[in-house]
Structures are given as structure tokens and as C-alpha cells.
Amino acid sequence: MTIRAKELGAAILMSAVLAGCSSSGSRSGGEAPSFVMTPPSESQIESSVRQQVSLMLEAFTPIAGQALPNRSVLEAYDFRDFEPIWIKGTSLDMSIYKLVDTLETAQSHGLNAVHYHIDTIKEYLDLPTPSAQQLAELDVIATVAMSSFAHDLSNGRYEPQLIDPNWQLDAPNKDWKNLLFLDNPSDMVNYLPMLAPRQPEYQVLQRWLVYYQELAQKEGDIRVEAGVPLTMSDEGPRVAQLRARLVQLGDIRFSTRKVNEDYFDSDLRSALMQFQKRHHLTADGAAGSQTIQMLNVPLSERAKQISYNLERWRWLPSQMEDDRIWVDLTDYTAHIYLNGQSESMKVVIGKPERKTNVFYGKMSYMVANPTWRVPHRIAQENLLPKLQRDPNYLGKHGFRVFSSWSIGAKELDPTTIDWQSIDPMKLKYRFEQAPDDGNALGAYKFMFPNKFDIYLHDTPAKHLFRETDRAFSSGCIRLEKPAHFANLLAGNSKKQVDSLNKARQTKETTVISLESEIPVYLVYFTVVPNANGMPEFRYDVYDRDPLMEEAMGYMPFHPSESL
């Protein structure tokens, strides 16, 4: 996506044009404007469309953080020699009313319907005898609204890099442009909903968003009062509140079976454990303070969280490769899809102060028994302080030091360097750790070259995989079962299998090229559907949701509003 910064003049122009649009349709006592004498002709309308396209597109200028596809609107009108899209002869095509209905579904995708000028379009539609200019304005605004919604539904409305510099995964497609060149507006409107991501995860989350929105409107939140933890065999009104909240959130399915609502039975415990699991809480079946706090998160807040993740899905490619590696950062898991099979294993990701970037790459080779060339930042922040405490640290841990990062740099004796006097910002040395049992990369690293110098690798710190939250690395991704992962990559290739086995025997550093590149996705979601189709709300380890809230300018859903 490309974006132009918001210009104050353009914003003023936009307001002026829209104000003019509204005032041109104002009526007193239901009477038609006196200046409309006769219906406009087709040639008058077409001439006005040609004049209005440039003016209206300038008014609807892109706003920082958003991508409005106005150039494509201009191309579509030019392709039609500026014939109107929504006006046939001198009358409106009825599909424009279906367009309005479709635009009003924006909220069900976590998009703000106000961006698609629905109220302005309706004001034009209410005009009893619109002029040629008013019809032309309506035609262009409706097309801008449709194309903007098509783009946003397909690619996402917001620029991910402007929201979060660490988010570099953005795969815009041009599929949405096709609808602007369909034969008639009816086909355009029918094509519009099909532009939403087709991934099952998106569709499931989208249904849950609608559910939470409707629930907030019709019922509001059922709250569980704070108090002592609720456990099996407890009785009282707080147990009834707990049961009612779990019914509301879908963890207890509606049943005609008569139950004692005030009694904490085994079914209630099972439902509570399910709730705890999908909110990444300890699933002990007791409603303690942390669980009650999570139960009482407002429905409107949950709807906002889902909307952020729907936008994240829209930043992904419209189609995924069958063979791919999918590293789910918030679940600390790598999912491997190869040759029609799928496996998963635990990972360790970057700590919050050294976030693992979100991006896409292509794995092209792996290295057995790798040498670790210490990244400059890690050398400054981690290695130098250790050397200043213990000048013999390098020798004890198998490190070599070189005079610079240049090719052919001279190897130095670390005991001859005054480490205490070195300013971290002026550190010029290159450090390398030889392949051995203590090497920070372990026995394997898996490379998908990228500007962040991030890769997957083994680790000697196996104990970290026993932790639930595993954000401990300096940005790279550590694999729980690297040897097995290497076997999966080698597959049935005799050449790769032989190279891998030889490297394991000799312990020599060996580069093994893959026969074909494998796509690697590093993704970040704070809400995902679990195996049962329920929304799983995860800990936002990198605090990315507040960035989404600020950028999207999310308007909270109020129960008094109609959908």
C-alpha cells in the first residue's frame, strides 16, 4: 500500500464539499428545491460526472494511516468514458440501495461504517428531483464508498508499518479492483462481500464479532461479583451469576435440563475450565480473582479485540501456500505444514524489549553445527558487560574475537584487550562462538534471509520450553525439536538426508540447501478461534493491541445503538 500524509487543506476541502452536498439536498417543509425545474438529461448527467470525478476524489483525499484507493476510481470512470455507474438513463439503478445495505455491514467486519459515507449517500437518495450535478455527485461518492470498502475488506484499511514499526507483514492484493470493471453495478455489489478473507479463522472470528455486538445490544454484560473464590459445591447468588455469564459467553450451551442455578456442580466446573483455557488462565475449575476479572471484561472490549485481529488477517495474503511454516508468536508455537502433513512444536520468541518482528520470508537453507556470529547489538548489551565482569568469559564459552566486521579481519587475543575501558557505543569487535554443546544456536539454525537477521535455531537452554509464556530470546526463534524439524525439511531428498547425517557424525559446520524455498510466516494474533470454534483471548505480550486501538480510532459499540 502507498499513503499520502493528511493535508489540512484537503480536509477543509472535503468538509466544504460534503457540506455543499448536504445543503444541496436540504428541504423546508418537505418541498422540493425551487431551482429544479425539469429532470436532467443523460448528456447533462454524464458531463457532470466527468467534472465531479476529479473534484470529489480530491475532496476524499487519503488520511494518514489509511489507504483510500481513489486512483482506481478515476481509472474505472476513464475506462467507461465517464459514463455514470449508478444512473441508467435518467434514473437510479436499484442496486445502489443494496450497496448502502452492504456498506452498513462494515461494523460486522470491525470496520467503521462512517468511513463509507452512508449518511451522505442517503441524503442524496432522499432528494425528490435531483439536478444533474447532484446525480453526478451521488454517482462518484457511491463509487468512492464502494471501492474504499472493497479495498479495506480485502487488504485492510490501515497501514501496519505506521501502526507498529516491528510489523512488516503486509501483502496487499489487487483483486478488489476487479469489481470496478464489472459490467454492471449489480454485479459489483454482489461481488463486494466475496472480497473478505476466505480463511476459516477470519470467518469464525467475524461471526463471533457479530455475536458480541448483538449480545451487548440486547442483553448487556452479566457481571460476577468479586469475593472469595468459587469452587465445587459452593452455593449462592454469585454461583448463579457465574453460570449466567458462562451461558452468555457460550461456554455453557443452552439446555432444557433443569439445574439448580445457585449450585456449583461438575458441569459448571467443566465449563469454567473451558473458559479458563481459552483465556490462557490456569484451568483449575475455580473462579478466583483473576478468573472473575477475566469474566467481567466487557463485551464491547472483546468486540474491539476481535476487530483488531480481523484487520490483521486482512494484512495477510488472500491465499496461503500448502507448504509453509507458521510461527504463532502469541501461542509460542511453530506449525509446520509440509507434504500434506502438519506438526507443531513449542518455540521461544523475543522478549518484550527485543520483539520478534512480524514478517514473511522464504527458508532456503539450514546449517548444522553453526558458528554463532554475535549480532552487534547483543555484543553491546549482553556480551560486553559479561566481559567487563570476567575478562576470561570468551575463552570459557568458546568465543573468538576479531578486530572488525570486515572480511579478513584479524583474530585477536581477548586477554590483551582492556574491556573495562570500552564504551558500548564504540564497540568495533566481531565475536564468534564455535559450534559445541554450549553454542547459543545449538546444533542447527534454519535460514530465511531477511533484513532483521531473524532465524529459527536450536538452543542449549531446553528448560525454557517448560514455561507457559516463552518470550526470552533476543529476537530469533528457538525451536523445541530442532533435529526433528531438520528431518522434516530434508524430507525424502537423499542428498539432503546424507548431508544432514554426515554433519551429525562429523560435528563439522555444514550448509544444506533446500531443494525448494519454504514460506515462513511470523504472525501475531491476540484473538484466535480454538479447536472448538470458540474465541481464544491471548496475552498481548508485545502490547500491540493498544497501538491498534489508537490507529483505528475505534468507536466503542454502545448497546443503545442499532446494528
Give catalytic residues, as residue numbers. Answer: 457, 476
Cβ within 8 Å of residue 369, ≥6 positions away: 435, 443, 503, 507, 508, 509, 510
Cβ atoms of 145 and 103 closer than 8 Å: yes
Provide the residue type at 487 as one letter.
N
Query: Quick one: how far is CA 261 from the chain centroid?
Result: 39
The neighbouring-strand residues paired with 411 are 402
Of residues 3, 18, 9, 5, the one with CA closest to residue 141: 18
Cβ within 8 Å of residue 379, ≥6 positions away: 427, 429, 431
The neighbouring-strand residues paired with 535 are 529
DSSP notation for 148-164: HHHHHHHH-SB-HHHH-
**CA 484/CA 345 separation, integer angstroms:** 10
Phi then psi for residue 27, to 5 deg, are: -135, 150
**CA 122/CA 107 separation, integer angstroms:** 18
Cβ within 8 Å of residue 160, ≥6 positions away: 167, 168, 169, 170, 312, 315, 358
Q: How far is CA 452 from CA 146, 467, 477, in A?
A: 38, 26, 12
The neighbouring-strand residues paired with 522 are 327, 359
**CA 275/CA 204 separation, integer angstroms:** 18
Three-state SS at 338: strand
**CA 501/CA 498 separation, integer angstroms:** 5
**CA 489/CA 506 separation, integer angstroms:** 20
> Which cell is 539 given?
496475552
